[in-house]
Each structure stands twice: as C-alpha cells, then as structure tokens.
Amino acid sequence: MAIYLDYNATAPIRREVVEAMVHVWENVPGNPASQHQFGRAARKRLEEARDHILALLGAEPTREGDRLIFTSGGTEANNLAILGIALARTEGMPGRIIISSIEHPSVLRAAETLVDWGWRLDTLDVHPNGVVNLESLRRWISPQVALVSVTTANHETGVVQPVAEIAAICHSHGVPFHTDAVQAVGKMPVSFRQFDADAMTVTPHKFGGPLGIGALIVKRGTPLRPILYGGEQQEGLRPGTESVALAVGMETALALALAELEDNIARMRALQQEFEQTLKALIPDLIIHGETAPRLPQTVNLAIPGIDNQILFTALDLEGVCCSIGSACSSGSPEPSPSLLALGAPREIVKSSLRISFGPKTTAEELRTAAHTIARVSQQLRKHVLR
C-alpha cells in the first residue's frame, strides 16, 4: 500500500464532505441567481455557507461586515487580491507593490503581470530560517505602495510568518495587506480579524474539502476591482454561477477541521518530531529547511546533499512513498525552488530537497516506514553516484 505524503498539494476529501455535497446536488437544484423558489432556496443555502465560513475564520459575517468572494480556487483568489486591490487603489494606473520572496507562484506571477504593465515590484528577503525580514518592509513601505502580500505559512517549508505584525506595519502607512492563508487554514489557528488582514485567501482542498473552489475574504471598505467579467454575481466582483454544493463542501470541511484542530496539531507535531529524529539518525548530513523557525506541524522540507531530488522523488514513488519536490503549481519546472533559494540555500542543496507533508489520517507507522525508505533509497543512490 502506497504512503501518501503530499497533503500540501491536496488532502484527501472527507466522507462527510462528499455526503454534504451530494445532499445539495440531490435536494437543492436551483441556480442561486434565479428568482423563483428553487433559486431562492439555493441562494439561502449558499449565503448560509458563506456566513458560516466567515464566522469560522474569524471574520464578520454581516451585511456591513467582511465579504467572502467564492472563486475557482486559491490561484484565482490570489490573482483577484493582487490585481483587484492594486488596480483599484491606483485607479488602473501603474503603481508599486510589495510581496515576499517566498510567495506561491499564483502571487508571484500576478505581481509580475503588474510589472509587465509598468508597475514597480519590491520583493522582501527572508532570514535563513525562512521568516520574512521585517526590516526590509519597514525600509520600503510608504503610503504610495498599493498593496503588500505575504503568505501566512510557506507552501514548501511550512514556516509561519508574523502576519499580524506585518499588517500593523502596513496599516501604519495606510497600505492594505493581503495574506495567502491556503496552507495555514486547518493546520494552525487562523483568524482574519486577529491577523488584521485586509484580504485573505483560502481553499478547502488543503484540509479535506473539495477541489474547484476557493475564496477571498475582503475587509469591508477595501477597494477591489473584478478581474473577470460577465455577470453581477457576488457584487460583480466575481461573475459566474456559484456552486452551492462546493460552497457547502467547503463549509463542512472547515467546520470539521477546526473542531479537530487542537488535537490534530498536537498529534501531527509529535509525528513531525519523531519523523525528523528518525531521519537524522539514519542520514547524519540531513538538512531540514526552516527547522529553527515556527512551522506548520505537518510539513518537513528536507535535503539530502549529493542526491538529485528528481531522481530521489521518482525512486521513492516506485517504492510507494508519494511526496513532492515543491509546489504542485510548479510541477514540471526544471528550475530549483525560488522559496528555498530565498533562504540562501546553495543551488545544489535546493536541487536535493523534497517536501514531505502529511495529515490527520497519516499514521506513525507510515512515517517510520517512509523515513527508513528514504534513508535506504538515498544510500543506494549515493553508492550509484560514487561508482
């Protein structure tokens, strides 16, 4: 039986979530934009899910409170945040934006698109442990900046960022702050209001929900332009018919994940520590990226010097250990991870790195087996290289 250790790419969907969505598909057939009774029933259930998600994530679910805009996933939500807020702040004229050097490709590429349109992009460096350098932000921030975006937890190393402190720095200069919380929700406490963010990205397939839906939470009063056109759904900010079933799936997965969060954090932290200790004992020169920083309890990004990560990844897959080299959105790219390079790791170490990410269903025995398999396969590959 193969061992699945790629939860940061996507987590297996929960049975309760599937059942909740099937109930909607079978009993709520209307289009939520339709005015007849079927449409009204669909709209009612959609808005219930929207308000519940907002409340669960520490936002204000009232008509005058925060907005939750459903999207097709985290990538679209990040694009809506970066392009939509930046362009609204400058009324479409070129301006200036700041992101960190460890952002997900969907944030980075959106920011680079603004550069193509004449914008200035400043990129915050990070300390060797993976935490954003706040002195860089303090040095570069000014009221002329249209937006700052820094991830809540890095998708490769799991290093958690001081988002509330970053938000405070931004707001002291009147600059809105967006955080991509895709990897954080369901794995650590996340509160939109406690973060004091102006916008936050979430997607449920990272914590047992469905693929094909995400959301951008936006603080009331934050300027935002649509990046898609064609309808008046969601105040015209994201046109297109909302999927009630996917929204309910997201709501259900989030409620379950948060109800179990405290127990899961404790359990996965213990698994993470045991897994790393086992690997260190088996591979003395093992490197764990971000080891000294606050990290998600279920992410381990490791490097085994002298071994090509693509070869190791393939060999482990054949042995039944399924992990990843980095972000699924960068899969197939021949370039080494920008997030790991940003930590100052040498290119040869970055090209020897793998991401292990697990979840609530992962067992201690599976991780022990994975650790011994990684060590055995690595030793075999090293012998082959020495020949």
63 C-beta neighbours (distance < 10 Å), count: 5
Q: How far is CA 338 from each of CA 73, 99, 165, 219, 322, rounded to the nearest angstrom?
A: 22, 13, 24, 30, 22
Max intra-chain CA distance, the chain: 74
Structure tokens at 90: 């400058």
DSSP letter for each residue of 126-184: B-TTS-B-HHHHHHH--TTEEEEE--SB-TTT-BBP-HHHHHHHHHTTT--EEEE-TTT
Return contacts of 159-162, CB within 8 angstroms, 24+ apart. 159/102, 159/129, 159/130, 159/131, 159/290, 159/293, 159/294, 159/295, 160/184, 160/188, 160/293, 160/294, 160/295, 160/296, 161/100, 161/131, 161/132, 162/131, 162/132, 162/134
CA gap 304, 208 in Å, rounded: 30
CA gap 387, 75 in Å, rounded: 44
Specify the 3-state DSSP secondary structure of 221.
coil
Phi-psi region of 234 (alpha: psi -120 to 50; beta: other; left: phi over 0): left
CA gap 37, 35 in Å, rounded: 7
**Half-sphere exposure of residue 282: CA atoms within 13 angstroms, side-chain side:** 19
Marked catalytic residue, from 170, 322, 323, 329: 329
Length of the chain measured in residues: 387
Instruction: Give me the phi and psi of 359, to 5 degrees please.
Output: -150, -170
322 carries an active-site annotation:
no
Q: One-letter amino acid identity for 292?
A: T
Query: What is the β-pairing status of strands 321-322 and 3-4?
Result: parallel
- 186: nearest Cα among 200, 211, 203, 164: 203
Residues with catalytic function: 329
